[in-house]
Chains A and B, each alone.
Chain A
Amino acid sequence: MLSVEGLRSRYGRIEALHGIDVEVGSGEIVAVVGANGAGKTTLLRCLSGVQPVSAGSIVFRGEQLTAVPAWRRVGRGLAQSPEGRQIFTNLTVEENLRLGAFLFADDKVGRDMDEAFAMFPVLREKRNLPAGGLSGGQQQMLAIARALMGRPSCLLLDEPSMGLAPILVAQIFEVVKGLRALNVTVLLVEQNAFGALSIADRGYVMETGRITMSGPAAELIVNERVREAYLGL
């Protein structure tokens, strides 16, 4: 579904990605794990189009995406829940969700919103409050729900567990696992390697702008090097 080849990207003169190859198959949950600064977020930003690509290709559902501007990629079925949530703090929860479905104006928008509220009941309670007042966990839920309102076939999730209490982390990972049932393919970027690999089908390990290991998540999670470097075991 999503195929990345030789992807390079730079911030000014400093290259952050040195040729990344990643494959995501339809219906898969794929995790990209790695330490802080490995380039995971840069990779997702390239995929969603808010970070310029200096070389390489991104093919999504058979279409070359590198020249497609960010705001058009949502319409192609590629949505991102960005790092740091990036919700619209001055708008209400409901307005945030409605804007998630900015490209749509049909009856399904209302049904999708009901589904989002069913997935995260706390958002329904706070639907008319400014999103800036939500707690960190609630903002994360809103960010995921807003991305899902765009009816993606592939969802890019950036650090959904960052800064959350352990019980919320578990809840967020359950939701991500549940996306499989909704036929949403997921590319999940996480520092929480154990949590991410335990719900993923396959995984990639990223270090300083390169993919250093890849394989089925079940294998990576028992791999000695991964356990030492990222799982603290």
Chain B
Amino acid sequence: MPELMQFLMSGVTVGAVYALVALGFTIIYNASDVVNFAQGEFVMLGGMMTVFGYAAGLPLPVAALVAILATAAIGVALNKLAIEPARGAPVVSLIIITIGASIFIRGVSQVVFGKQLHRFPAFSGDAPIPVLGATILPQSLWVIAGALAIFVGLWLFFTRTLTGRAVLATANNRMAAQLVGINTRYVMSLSFALSAAIGALAGVLVTPITLVSYDIGISLALKGFAAAMLGGMGNPKGALAGGLLLGLMEALTAGYISSQYKDAAAFVVILGVLFFMPQGLFGTKTTERV
């Protein structure tokens, strides 16, 4: 029993990270139908810049804030320099541009930050907290709380604010959005800034547990993408559920079968779900009259 509990704890922690990455995907996807594969790089940049800010003598919260703001600025730059000039290109081309951007960011990071692993101290110490016979790190609680807070914030943003609905409207019909007075360029920049900031926050929260190196972005982007697809792309609820499910599947497979199979098991389950529910668990079937 304590064994199962321990697997669940680590599954939820990893799942919360995937959920944060998946939530980052949601915003840009909602605004533009583009899946931004540089999302994992935002996570890396958040962690990495916090490491260096902290090492340069900034207090940890300040270093984290600076890293999140700087990553948001990089997100806006990505939109302005790479996505906006290609506007009008098919979505697939834009997605390939984001893959190119992720390779570029990774390359620059390797030169700037080096190849070694980096870490900064956990926010509330490293003493494990006992829970029902298992233990959980205080930093894991920070990660889970962060994922929940971002989820609630995004849900409120998309359903309760006019700006959030303007983002949805821009994705649904860019021309009509302009016709009601929405500055669609601003909406795109805002989406990239928010997505990047959420990714960076994930990096800040998770670095004390997993450490950060220049190349952690690829696998995070893939797992986050899988989580978002599992839950239903574009839906914050789906991103949260998909991330947690993926994390739990991985942890249970690693615990009871073999850690070598954890990725395979997770992806088999995802393929199974998508086979029967192509829209994902929370995705809505789109029916439109034309």
Tell me the A residues contacting B by CB distance below 8 Å: 48-50, 69-72, 74-75, 79-80, 82, 86-91, 95, 98-100, 102-103, 105, 132-136, 139, 146-147, 149-150
Contacts and interface: CB of A to CB of B under 8 A. Distances in A.
B183 A99 contact: no
A99 B179 contact: no
B165 interface: yes
B172 interface: yes
Given A50-B175, A91-B172, A146 B289 contact: no
B180 A134 contact: no
B184 interface: yes
A80 B178 CA distance: 10
A95 B163 CA distance: 12
21 contacts: A48-B179, A70-B179, A74-B181, A79-B180, A86-B175, A86-B176, A88-B176, A90-B168, A91-B168, A91-B172, A98-B165, A99-B165, A99-B177, A132-B286, A132-B287, A132-B289, A133-B287, A133-B288, A135-B289, A149-B180, A150-B181
A99 B289 contact: no
Interface in B164-190: 165-166, 168-169, 172-173, 175-184
B225 to A, nearest CB: 22
Most buried by B among A49, A71, A87, A146: A71
B209 to A, nearest CB: 37
Interface residues of B, number: 21
Contacts of B184: 71
A149 B165 CA distance: 16
Nearest to B30: A90
Secondary structure at the B interface, as helix, strand, loop or mixed, is: helix
A145 B110 CA distance: 54
A132 B176 contact: no
A69 B154 CA distance: 29
Given A91-B169, A98-B162, A102-B166, A134 B289 contact: yes
Given A75-B181, A86-B179, A99-B165, 10 more contacts: A48-B179, A70-B179, A71-B184, A79-B179, A80-B179, A87-B173, A89-B288, A91-B169, A98-B165, A102-B180
B166 A99 contact: yes
Contact of A82 (B179, B182, B287): B179
A26 to B, nearest CB: 22
A198 to B, nearest CB: 27
Interface string B125-150: 00000000000000000000000000
B175 A99 contact: no
B290 to A, nearest CB: 9
A105 B165 CA distance: 14
Contacts of A70: 178-179
